[in-house]
């Protein structure tokens, strides 16, 4: 579907956003405009290598369970004073991924997560990592990605996504660089441009970051910036200290 305003890539994202929601003469909803702006990006260059795709990336988004964790869910039974039974959910995360988040920011990437589940543990980890885009309770992740595209002022070919299961396919099939973890289901791996050497929860997130920064020629400079204690960018980019 082509809007009657010419090539949507020639418009500013802010103008599009205002048109879609405020102008009564616009004939197409925001979702259609986003689709026109972004869906052709990944399809326009099907022969690109994973490295070529990685060079375009500005935003990196992670799934959580099976990507930033190993996919296991632990519940600690709790009993309220009135006898009501509940459970406290907790997960394990990789410190390698956490340091990778700092390197990614030093390399100029913007980061976030999208997950189907809702968890206080994830909210705490996201806050500790200082992630810019955090979406929980997303059964259909494409809607969250469309929102990120508008917020970040990018196109889909400038977004990378790391997933491990079929719930991630709607994003993996359209983003500029789709990454599957080593432990991912077959369907996710078949839709991936790159598969991490390590499984989720054991450094897969760091693998994705290293791959993108290396393709962009920024990995070594990001590491050196991290090691420079006098570099003010280090303090701005670094993750939390765990005091939550």
Q: What is the pLDDT of residues 12-67, one digit of tens each?
A: 443 444 444 444 434 434 444 444 344 334 444 568 999 999 999 999 999 999 99
Pull the structure tokens for residue 53.
């795709």
Q: What share of the chain is helix, strand, coil (3-state, %, to 5)?
A: 45, 15, 40
Phi and psi torsions of 88, nearest 5°: -95, 120
64-90: pLDDT as tens digits: 999 999 877 777 787 888 878 877 776
Q: Order of strands, edge to edge, in the sheet holding 194-195?
A: 133-135, 110-114, 59-62, 159-163, 177-180, 194-195
pLDDT value of position 27: 40
Task: List, in sequence order, every residue forming a beta bridge with 111; answer none if it has no partner.
Answer: 60
Q: Shortest CA distance to 210 belongs to which of 87, 198, 143, 201?
A: 198
Task: List, in sequence order, every residue forming a beta bridge with 75; answer none if it has no partner.
Answer: 89
Task: List, in sequence order, every residue forming a beta bridge with 159; answer none if it has no partner.
Answer: 59
pLDDT value of position 243: 57
Q: How does the average pLDDT of the chain come out, rounded?
A: 82
Task: List, in sequence order, every residue forming a beta bridge with 114; answer none if it has no partner.
Answer: 135
| Alpha helices, DSSP H, located in 28-74 | 30-43, 50-55
Whether 214 shows a pLDDT value over 70: the answer reads: yes
105-151: pLDDT as tens digits: 999 999 999 999 888 888 888 898 999 999 998 989 999 999 999 99
CA 86, 127, 155: angle at the middle one, nearest 5? 115
- Contact in structure between 181 and 162 (CB atoms under 8 Å): yes
pLDDT value of position 43: 45
H/E stretch holding 35: helix 30-43
pLDDT value of position 44: 42
């Amino acid at each position: 579907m082509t809007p009657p305003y010419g090539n949507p890539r020639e418009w500013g994202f802010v103008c599009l956003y205002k048109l879609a929601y405020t102008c009564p003469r616009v004939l197409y909803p925001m979702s259609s405009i986003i689709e026109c702006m972004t869906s052709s990006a990944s399809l326009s260059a099907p022969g690109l290598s994973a490295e070529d795709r990685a060079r375009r990336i500005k935003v990196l988004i992670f799934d959580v369970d099976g990507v930033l964790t190993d996919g296991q869910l632990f519940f600690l039974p709790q009993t309220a004073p009135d006898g009501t039974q509940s459970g406290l959910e907790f997960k394990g995360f990789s410190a390698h991924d956490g340091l990778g988040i700092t390197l990614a920011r030093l390399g100029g990437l913007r980061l976030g997560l999208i997950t189907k589940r809702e968890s206080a543990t994830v909210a705490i980890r996201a806050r500790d990592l200082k992630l810019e885009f955090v979406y929980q309770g997303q059964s259909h992740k494409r809607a969250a990605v469309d929102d990120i595209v508008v917020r970040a002022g990018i196109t889909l070919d400038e977004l990378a996504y790391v997933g491990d299961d079929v719930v991630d396919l709607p994003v993996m099939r359209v983003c500029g660089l789709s990454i599957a973890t080593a432990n991912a289901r077959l369907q996710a791996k078949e839709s991936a441009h790159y598969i991490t050497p390590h499984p989720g929860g054991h450094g897969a997130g760091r693998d994705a970051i290293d791959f993108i920064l290396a393709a962009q020629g920024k990995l070594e400079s990001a590491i050196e910036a991290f090691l420079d204690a006098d570099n003010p960018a280090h303090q701005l980019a670094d993750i939390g200290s765990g005091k939550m």
